[in-house]
């Protein structure tokens, strides 16, 4: 992931980047720590600072070689088994695992549906009837094992069965704890159950929690549904999985905060990866999964804030990509995914605050781009992506503070362009976008503080122009022939806009031009372009330069009340 130094904003000494709030005020900068010398080879940490405040975080490390700055890949700490853990033979039983016994957590329950035997690892074992849980209470004081630094005595549990085991539930709650919930101190699990069609390790709202489970190996299983399989396993660091035939990965690794990387496992049969890695905020790399059969990938990597790069994965069958990479704050580039079948991509890349540009992704069938790049605060340019089928572009670039230019996107089918460029602080102009179908243009250019001109975009269908140009403090003119005859609300449309001329035509509801540098001639033209006043319609020209010398009868003759106080 390479970026030339000239691509960075050197807005303050030794600063790489700067972020603004919705009013254009600087929030924080990113600066090189230590002594940075242009052209000097070496590694440089980049630290994030609140303006006038203390450092927040060390954001990333940059390497400079030959005058080019590159972002170093995040360091991944390979998981290694603690040295005080006993070795396991994963093939010794249906389930083989390490269990940590403490003075307060000394109970364990498991459930299999075939007759089975449990060697509890303390010199005792039990035969259990299929369909009933096996339960055990350890005597911490009698265990002839040395406790580790956490006071845990680690036993090896082996579960064997000569029957066909097609149901395993590790969420079984010991009878002594029924109704109270429990903490089960599994440290490591190895599962070899080729006939198991229902495998439960974790689940949403599970009564049993696994706060210490670091490693899971699944050699064989037959469950096609991995929904919530590792949901909430906050200590999980290592997985080795046989996922042949698995079709659903819904919430599989949801909030696995300790997971930094995952191996390549079989996803060729997967159709649903919704929230698969949601909230895995330490996940730093992923392999090139086969997503060729995936149809829905809602929030698959949402909140993976340490993921800095992505491999090219086959997404050709994908229909729903909503929130797919939302909140991936470390992503600086994305591959050219095939989104040709995607119908909905709302918020797919929202909150990717390090993303500076995107490739020419094929969105040729997409109908929903709501919030697609919302809050991509570093995004500077976009290619001419196909938006011809899009029905809503609301919030599409909202909060893209660094966006400098927009190509001539075909948004002729979009019925909602509200907030589309809201707070795009760096945008100075836009092309003549086709807004003829847009029913809602409210906040479309709200606080585009650098916008100096706009073309005569078609507002003839817009019913709502609320705050459309609010805060556009560099905009001095609205072009002629902007038909607003259908608009029912101009509230805040021109607040904080230093207009010297306005070409709005056909308006019939109240509108304010308060404190504008509008001459008498400019006001007369505005009056001339007004439509016949609707019920109670007012035009407020208070504190305009030409308010006292303009010809108000032009407006009053159409039924308007002119306010000048």
Can you spell out the DSSP letters for 495-515? TT---SB--EES--S-EE-TT
> To the nearest 10°, the Cα dihedral for 430, 434, 440, 441?
20
DSSP annotation of 528: H
Classify 445 as helix, strand or coil.
Answer: coil
116-145 pLDDT, tens digit per residue, is: 999 999 999 999 998 899 999 999 999 999
Rounded CA-CA distance 166/161 in Å is 11
| Spatial contact of 26 and 49, defined as CB atoms under 8 Å apart | no
Residue 253 has pLDDT above 50, yes or no: yes
Which pLDDT belongs to residue 67? 45
The contacts found for 173-180 with CB under 8 angstroms, 24 or more apart, are: 173/109, 173/207, 173/208, 174/107, 174/108, 174/109, 174/135, 174/137, 175/109, 175/133, 175/135, 176/107, 176/137, 177/107
Range with lowest mean pLDDT among 16-25, 106-115, 271-280, 374-383? 16-25
Cβ–Cβ under 8 Å, residues 368 and 347: no
Alpha-carbon distance 497 to 261, whole Å? 50
Q: Is the distance from CB of 335 to CB of 361 less than 8 angstroms?
A: no
Q: Which helix (H) or strand (E) holds 59?
A: strand 55-65
Give the confidence band of 178 by pLDDT, cuts at 50, 70, 90. low
Provide, rounded to the nearest whole percent, the portion of the chain with pLDDT above 70.
85
pLDDT bracket for residue 174 (50, 70, 90)? confident
- Of the candidates 359, 418, 355, the one whose C-alpha atom is nearest the C-alpha of residue 392 is 418
Mean per-residue pLDDT, 482-497: 96
Mean pLDDT of 303-328: 95
Tell me the whole-structure pTM to 2 decimals.
Answer: 0.85
For CA atoms 329, 349, 292, 316, the dihedral sign is negative
Q: Evaluate whether 117 touches 136 at the Cβ level (below 8 Å).
A: no
Residue 332: predicted pLDDT: 87
Q: How far apart are CA 371 and CA 351, in angstroms?
A: 10
Predicted pLDDT of residue 9: 27
Tokens of 178: 């029924």
Least-confidence region, from 58-62, 224-228, 232-236, 421-425: 58-62
State both tokens at 462.
Answer: 């817009």
Section 32-58 average pLDDT: 51
Ramachandran area for residue 309 (φ above 0: left; ψ -120 to 50: alpha; else beta): beta
**Distance linking the first and last C-alpha atoms of the chain:** 59
Helix, strand, or coil (residue 17):
strand
For range 440-447, the mean pLDDT:
98
Reported as a single tens digit per residue, the pLDDT across 83-123 is 999 999 999 999 999 999 999 889 999 999 989 999 999 99
Report whether pLDDT(304) > 60. yes
**What would the mean pLDDT of 445-449 be, rounded to a whole number?**
96
pLDDT on residue 171:
87
b/e sequence 13-43, b meaning 16+ C-beta within 10 Å: ebbbbbbbeeeeeeebbbbbeeebeeeeeee
Tell me the CB-side half-sphere exposure of residue 490, using CA atoms within 13 A.
Answer: 22
Q: Are 453 and 477 in contact (CB under 8 A)?
A: yes
CA distance 512 to 547: 13
CA angle, residues 53, 58, 61, in degrees to nearest 5: 135
């Amino acid at each position: 992931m390479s970026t030339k130094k000239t691509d960075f904003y050197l807005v303050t000494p030794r600063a790489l980047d700067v972020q603004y709030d919705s009013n254009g005020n600087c929030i924080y900068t990113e600066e090189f720590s230590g002594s940075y010398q242009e052209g000097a080879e070496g590694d440089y940490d980049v630290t994030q600072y609140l303006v006038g405040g203390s450092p927040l975080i060390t954001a990333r490390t940059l390497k400079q070689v030959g005058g080019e700055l590159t972002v170093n890949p995040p360091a991944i700490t390979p998981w290694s088994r603690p040295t005080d853990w006993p070795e396991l033979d994963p093939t010794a039983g249906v389930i083989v695992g390490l269990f940590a016994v403490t003075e307060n957590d000394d109970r364990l329950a498991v459930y299999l549906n075939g007759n089975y035997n449990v060697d509890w690892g303390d010199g005792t074992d039990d035969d259990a009837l299929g369909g009933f849980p096996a339960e055990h209470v350890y005597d911490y004081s009698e265990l002839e094992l040395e406790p580790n630094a956490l006071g845990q005595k680690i036993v090896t549990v082996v579960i064997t069965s000569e029957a066909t085991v097609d149901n395993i539930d590790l969420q079984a709650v010991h009878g002594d704890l029924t109704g109270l919930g429990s903490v089960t101190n599994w440290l490591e699990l190895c599962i070899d159950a080729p006939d198991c069609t229902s495998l439960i390790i974790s689940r949403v709202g599970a009564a049993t929690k696994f706060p210490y489970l670091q490693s899971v190996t699944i050699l064989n299983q037959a469950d096609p549904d991995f929904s919530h399989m590792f949901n909430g396993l906050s200590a999980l660091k290592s997985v080795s999985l046989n996922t042949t035939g698995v079709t659903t990965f819904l919430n599989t690794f949801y909030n696995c905060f300790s997971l930094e990387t995952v191996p390549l496992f079989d996803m060729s049969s997967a159709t649903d990866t919704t929230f698969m890695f949601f909230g895995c905020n330490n996940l730093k790399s992923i392999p090139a999964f086969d997503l060729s059969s995936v149809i829905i990938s809602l929030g698959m990597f949402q909140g993976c804030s340490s993921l800095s790069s992505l491999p090219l994965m086959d997404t050709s069958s994908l229909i729903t990509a909503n929130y797919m990479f939302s909140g991936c704050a470390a992503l600086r580039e994305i591959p050219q995914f095939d989104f040709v079948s995607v119908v909905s991509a709302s918020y797919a890349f929202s909150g990717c605050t390090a993303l500076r540009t995107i490739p020419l992704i094929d969105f040729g069938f997409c109908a929903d781009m709501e919030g697609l790049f919302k809050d991509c605060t570093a995004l500077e340019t976009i290619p001419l992506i196909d938006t011809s089928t899009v029905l809503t572009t609301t919030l599409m670039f909202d909060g893209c503070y660094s966006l400098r230019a927009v190509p001539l996107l075909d948004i002729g089918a979009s019925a909602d362009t509200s907030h589309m460029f809201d707070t795009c602080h760096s945008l100075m102009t836009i092309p003549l976008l086709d807004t003829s179908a847009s029913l809602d243009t409210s906040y479309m250019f709200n606080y585009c503080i650098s916008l100096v001109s706009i073309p005569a975009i078609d507002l003839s269908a817009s019913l709502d122009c609320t705050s459309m140009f609010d805060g556009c403090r560099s905009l001095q003119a609205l072009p002629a022939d902007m038909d607003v005859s259908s608009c029912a609300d101009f509230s805040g449309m021109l607040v904080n806009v230093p207009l010297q001329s306005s070409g709005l035509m056909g308006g019939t509801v109240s509108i304010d031009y308060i404190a504008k540098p509008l001459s008498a001639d400019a006001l007369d033209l505005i009056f001339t372009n007004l439509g016949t006043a609707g019920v109670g319609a007012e035009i407020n020209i208070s504190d305009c330069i030409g308010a006292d010398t303009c010809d108000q009868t032009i407006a009053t003759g159409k039924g308007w009340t002119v306010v000048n106080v």
